[in-house]
A = this chain, B = another copy of it.
Amino acid sequence: MPSDATVPQPAPGPADLVITDVTSLVHGPDGAIDFRPGSTIVVRDGVIDFVGPVEGTPVPAAQVIDGRGQVAMPGLINCHTHSPMVLFRGAAENVSTVDWFNTRIWPMEVNLIPDDVEVGARLACAEMIAAGVTTFADHYFEMDRVARAVDETGLRANLGWTYFSSQGRAGFDTSLEFALSHRDAAGGRITTSLAPHGAYTVDDDDLRTTAAAALQHDLLVHIHAAESRAETRASRARRGMTPIAVLEHTGLLDARVLIAHAKGVVQEDLPLLARARGRVGVGSAPKGYLKQGEETTPIRSLLSAGVAVGLATDGAASNNTLDVWESMLVTALVQRVEEGDELWMTARDVLGLATLGSAAAVGLAGRIGSLAPGHQADIVLVDLSGPHTQPVHDLAATLVYSARSADISTTVVAGRVLMQDRRLLTVDVPAVVADLGPRLARLTDTSHGTSIQSYNAY
């Protein structure tokens, strides 16, 4: 019997997984980040059962991981990506945003066959597991093949099949059919979205149809909107309203919505977003914005309107990695310049975005994003023994500004260990890379002169 009956202790009986002697990142009742050294984390049935110091006898478990010298964090959440685009990593460099779409990416995407998408998704899953990403929100084509890679590699994902109005009704139908047939797949690790491409490529009728279906089926809508200030200016000029106003006008802000980028959000959008608080989230992927010489997401304004803000990488064709840890660092750095305020966006603030903020943005608040009992056991261990992470005067700063994804030793999703001691246990990377090689020349050939779409957001 514990010496002090007021200290909660884990339930008796064997656990599936126990992580011992670790410093745990936990959240206070107000969401504030705190660190609890000397913790034990007990996992049963894929769910966190207990986090804290254990007195007396250690908890017996099928699998025990020694967490000494490591920090346990909620697994990272990639709130917006196009995972199979790792196929095009580095294949569209040194071009303007317009050329990136019109001369490189959209012509190359004509070449994709479903098998390519699956191989790309598998490589992306490997990269994300290695980088400590445990959940990703994906927006692409042939999503049944992405679902297969998610199932097989053990990750958690929210998957949405992209559509344009140029496809006619078939685009929406495919997206809805996929969302309904795959929700709760992979033992519940897969959730789904409706995935209209953007407010400038999907017309109002299709957006209205999307909103109605989202409400009818309780589906998240994952969409690019207000991608840039230029898009907002163009939308105002063309139709007299901002892209966020288009979302409201078509009923999408009455549904649950995940907005990618939102860099073009302006003052007049904030009341619209505030009315949708609790339903609307944003995924911000700042590395790619800087790479294109562009502005960044106005996170402070969004938070003040009650919008859930999470971190993302976008696809690797623009971001070059799927490394959400890197997004944490870049977010911290660029937000201070954005606001001209050297005290805004502390390391703890960024860790808040990476955990509770991102979980809410992808519609999974209360299920992921926190090492709290009842949450899914999506956990990463960060090894702080490297010379670049010593000494530790301020653990939040060490994590955000000194550590990097390569310091993650262990990745756990739903209680299953997907990487241990930096060895990937569910993907054979050399085999995937070998499978990829012969596809590359065909994939990057743009001599056909066609494109899946024409970019004219501006």
The answer to whether the Cβ of A320 comes within 8 Å of any Cβ in the partner chain is: yes
B385 engages A430 (CB within 8 Å) = yes
Q: Is the CB of B391 within 8 A of A293?
A: no
Nearest residue (CB) in B for A318 is B401
**Is A16 interfacial (CB-CB < 8 Å)?**
no
Q: List B contacts of A316 (CB < 8 A).
A: 402
A42 vs B430: C-alpha distance in the bound complex, in angstroms?
29
Cβ of A332 < 8 Å from any Cβ of B? Answer: yes
Contact B291 A387 (CB under 8 A): no
Nearest B residue to A402, CB-CB: B320
**Distance between A124 CB and nearest chain B CB, rounded to angstroms:** 8
Count, chain A residues at interface, CB 8 A: 67
Partner of A287, one of B287, B333, B391: B333
CB distance from A39 to the nearest CB of B (A): 21
Nearest neighbor of A286 in chain B, beta-carbon distance: B333
Give A350 Cβ to nearest chain B Cβ, in Å: 12
Check if B127 sits within 8 Å of A393, measured CB to CB: no
Please encode chain A, from 334 to 357, with 1 for each CB lying within 8 Å of some chain B CB and 0 for all others: 101101111110110000000000
Residues in B whose Cβ lies below 8 Å from that of A59: none
Could you give, for residues 358-401 of chain A, a 1 whenever the CB lies within 8 Å of some chain B CB and a 0 otherwise?
00000000000000000000000000011110111110011001
When C-beta atoms are compared, the residue in chain B nearest to A120 turns out to be B391
Q: A290-B333, A291-B333, A330-B333 are in contact. Are A387 and B341 (CB under 8 A)?
A: no
Instruction: Name the residue on B nearest A126 (C-beta).
Output: B387
Docked-complex contact B347 and A93, CB < 8 angstroms? yes
Across the interface, do B343 and A96 meet the contact criterion of CB distance under 8 Å?
Answer: yes
The count of identical subunits is 2
Q: Mark A294-323, 1 if CB is under 8 A from B, else 0.
A: 100000000000000000000010001111
With A330-B333, A406-B404: A123-B397 Cβ-Cβ less than 8 Å = no
The reply to whether B293 and A339 contact each other, CB–CB distance below 8 Å, is yes
Given A342-B97, A397-B93, residue A336 in contact with residue B293 (CB < 8 A): yes
Residues in B with CB closer than 8 Å to A91 are 393-394
A390-B436 in contact (CB<8A): yes
A429 contacts chain B at the CB level, 8 A cutoff = yes
Q: With an 8 A cutoff between CB atoms, is A111 at the interface?
A: no
Q: Tell whether A453 is near chain B: CB-to-CB under 8 Å.
A: no
Question: A290-B333, A322-B388, A401-B291 given as contacts; is B430 within 8 A of A393 (CB)?
Answer: no
CA distance A131 to B322 in the complex (A): 21
Q: How far is the CA of A323 from the CA of B126 in the complex (A)?
A: 25
Judged by a CB distance under 8 angstroms, whether A183 is at the interface is no
B321 near A402 with CB under 8 A, answer yes
Which chain B residue lies CB-closest to A400? Answer: B320
Nearest CB on B from A340, distance (A) = 6
Q: Are A393 and B90 in contact (CB under 8 A)?
A: yes
Q: Does A178 contact B (CB under 8 A)?
A: no
List B contacts of A96 (CB < 8 A).
342-343
Contact of A416 with B by CB under 8 A: no
Chain B residues whose CB sits within 8 angstroms of the CB of A321 once the complex forms: 388, 401-402
Distance between Cα atoms of A391 and B392 in the complex (Å)? 36
Given contact pairs A291-B332, A333-B330, A336-B292, A388 touches B131 in the complex (Cβ within 8 A): yes
Measured between beta carbons, the chain B residues less than 8 angstroms from A126 are: 387
Q: Is the CB–CB distance between A343 and B387 below 8 Å?
A: no
Instruction: Using known A-B contacts A332-B291, A346-B94, determine if residue A393 contacts B320 with beta carbons closer than 8 Å.
Output: no
Would you call B293 and A337 a contact (CB within 8 A)? yes
A433 adjacent to chain B (CB < 8 Å): yes
Cα–Cα distance between A346 and B92 once the two chains are bound (Å): 12
Any B CB within 8 A of the CB of A140: no
**What are 11 A-B interface contacts by the 8 Å CB criterion?**
A86-B387, A87-B391, A90-B392, A91-B394, A124-B387, A130-B386, A287-B333, A291-B401, A323-B388, A391-B433, A404-B406
Which 3 pairs between the two chains have the least Cβ-Cβ distance?
A: A406-B406, A320-B401, A293-B336
Chain A residues within CB distance 8 Å of chain B: 86-91, 93-97, 123-124, 126-127, 130-131, 287, 290-294, 316, 320-323, 330, 332-334, 336-337, 339-344, 346-347, 385-388, 390-394, 397-398, 401-402, 404, 406-407, 427, 429-430, 432-433, 436-437, 440, 444
Beyond A90-B393, A293-B336, 7 additional contacts (C-beta under 8 Å) are A93-B394, A94-B347, A96-B343, A127-B386, A386-B429, A387-B433, A406-B407
